[in-house]
Structure 1
Amino acid sequence: MKHYKLDPNQIRPLATGHGHCVVSDMVAVEGKPVGYMYRDEPEDAEDSGWRFFAGNESDAYIDNPKHFSLLDVNVVANFDETIIPLLNSPVGAEFDKEEGGDTFYDANE
């Protein structure tokens, strides 16, 4: 069983109603900020399409599905509030952060 960085009683309603997402354990378990995020075509009605990473995961790390969790987008917003202004971006959106920075830039530009 995974032990997430935040306990359920620490989760505040910051970005509710977006659905589920896939998040790297570097964010959800280790507590690193989101460094890279993109929105894929949702797989079902509950999937937001959002995928969140710390940004420094190796290919081997990414290739192991055990390193990811399916969580509500609101939970990820509680790990890193800087994602919130971007959550209404369309499918195909992709954002990156400068290493050690707080601001995302459009990775498609």
Structure 2
Amino acid sequence: MAGNKLFKLHSEQIVDLVSGYGGCIATDRITVDGEPLGYMYREEPHNELDSGWRFFAGTEDQAYLDNLAYSEVYDVNTIANYEPAIIAYLDYPVGSELERRVGSNKFDLLPG
């Protein structure tokens, strides 16, 4: 499915910002539409290549999220290129939920 998408960043624009985190899931609102990342959470990884991180713009409704065509698996480094502010939070543990603080590049940990 990714082959048909026009991504906001082209492959030559992706640089090495972080490594060793593995894969993640992000929606097209971030990678195709270029919306800022607004919400992220970390769940138990599904396998040894999965970081457990899931990234969203925060504007996705349930119908959008239910359509698997609007989400893809990426290396965490790719999403860090779209939103470098996430780098400071990548070592947060499984179960962490963070939401962008309005008007900033900071994320607040949501109460669990």
Runs of at least 4 residues off by over 3 Å: 98-101
In the TM superposition, what whole-angstrom CA distance separates every residue of 1:29-79 from its partner, at most 9, and x where no partner exists? 111111000001000110000000001111111111111010000000000
Which of 82, 93, 98 lines up with 1:95 in the alignment?
98
Q: Which segments of 5 or more consecutive residues in structure 2 lack a partner in the other structure?
A: none
Tell me the TM-score normalised to structure 2 length. Answer: 0.92
Q: For the residues of structure 1 that align with 2:11 and 2:111, how far apart are their CA atoms? A: 34
Of 61, 65, 69 in structure 2, the residue corresponding to residue 66 of structure 1 is 69
TM-score by length of 1: 0.94
Matched, 1:16 2:19: yes
Correspondences of 1:37-76 after superposition (within 5 Å): 37-76=40-79
Equivalent residue number for residue 37 of structure 2: 34
| Cα contact 1:43–1:49 (8 A) shared by 2 | yes
Unpaired segments ≥5 residues, structure 1:
none
**RMSD across aligned positions (CA):** 1.1
* Cα distance in 1 for residues equivalent to 2:73 and 2:21: 13
Q: Deviations over 1:66-97 (max 9, x none)?
A: 11010000000000001000001110011001
Please give the per-residue CA displacement for 1:13-43, whole angstroms capped at 9, x wherever unaligned: 1111100000010001111111000001000
Question: Displacement of 1:101 after TM fit?
Answer: 3.2
Which AA in structure 2 matches 1:21?
C
Give the % identical residues: 44
| CA distance in 2: counterparts of 1:16 and 1:4, whole angstroms | 21
